[in-house]
Amino acid sequence: MILECPECRTRYLVADRAIGAEGRTVRCASCRHSWYQEPAAPAPLPPLAPAPIAPGPTIAPPPADAFADTAPVADSVPPPPPVYADPIVEEPAGDYDAFANRPPFRARRNPARRWTLIAILAGLMMLAVTGAILWLGTPGLFARVGIPIGAAESPLRLKDKPIERRELENGSELFAVSGQVVNPSADRQRVPDILAELRDAQGRLVFSWTITPPQRTLAPGGSIDFNSAKLDVPANSKRLELSFAGDSAR
């Protein structure tokens, strides 16, 4: 059978079985228009044989030149042949809607691009860690992120002075500590916090606190004095130990 697109008038020659006995939705390969195609009309039945006619009087045929002056009847113009374009795109029968919404397009993931981004981020993190180590040093870096690690022994030296214990008028006891930080090296040094620890006669720790130095850097060969006081320290404290906070030599 011959199908003709109602939109662009393109014709297609298809087999009757492609449409089926129930008809189906088809789509034009030229303009993409869809329509429902009815099934092909059944073939006409063969004509019945005419009933016999009783013979009548014989009629003589007209002479050969009877229609000599009659103009011949022009042959009818045949219909244009079908256009053999690309085969039609058959859509499945059923609840097909040519104008229904299509699911949104989802781009395919590119695993190579993802691994490239991961490698770039890892490289940037390695550069940041290397720069932090060069700037702060390994102990300083671990201290910044909260990982306890022993610091290198400081070249600074501590000189303590005699402890002063004084009873105040309100009955409480004042425990005063003083001393000196000395830099015997030829380089400028950073002065860390000073840790004061009080121990009993058996050497057990009974009280401790941290002393902030009056300045954080010390010139080569220089020295600074420090002092601190606490109230109501344990009465069984017998010995004072001073050290730098984080010093691995302790």
The residues, any chain, with a CB within 8 Å of residue 2's CB and separated by 6 or more, are: 11, 12, 13, 14, 82
pLDDT more than 90, % of the chain: 24
Q: Is residue 47 part of a domain?
A: no
pTM recorded for the entire structure = 0.39
Helices (H), the chain: 16-19, 111-144
Total domains, the chain: 3
Q: Is residue 224 part of a domain?
A: yes
Model confidence at 8, pLDDT cuts 50, 70, 90, reads: very high
Q: Is residue 63 part of a domain?
A: no
Instruction: Determine the structural domain holding residue 196 and report its residue range.
Output: 157-244
Q: Is residue 53 part of a domain?
A: no
Between CA 120 and CA 131 the distance in angstroms is 17
Do 171 and 212 lie in one domain? The reply is: yes
Model confidence at 195, pLDDT cuts 50, 70, 90, reads: very high
Q: Is residue 123 part of a domain?
A: yes
Do 145 and 239 lie in one domain? The reply is: no
Do 3 and 93 lie in one domain? The reply is: yes
pLDDT digit string, tens, across residues 20-68: 778 888 899 889 889 888 887 776 667 766 666 666 666 666 666 655 5
Do 145 and 198 lie in one domain? The reply is: no
Do 162 and 135 lie in one domain? The reply is: no
H/E element, 146: none
Q: Is residue 166 part of a domain?
A: yes
Alpha-carbon dihedral angle through residues 231, 240, 165, 223, given to the nearest 10 degrees:
-100
Write down the mean pLDDT value for the chain.
76
Do 121 and 93 lie in one domain? The reply is: no
Q: Is residue 220 part of a domain?
A: yes
Model confidence at 151, pLDDT cuts 50, 70, 90, reads: very low
Do 37 and 87 lie in one domain? The reply is: yes
Between CA 89 and CA 37 the distance in angstroms is 13
CA distances from 60 to 64, 66, 69, 148, 159 (A): 12, 13, 21, 134, 159
Q: Is residue 188 part of a domain?
A: yes
The pLDDT of residue 124: 92
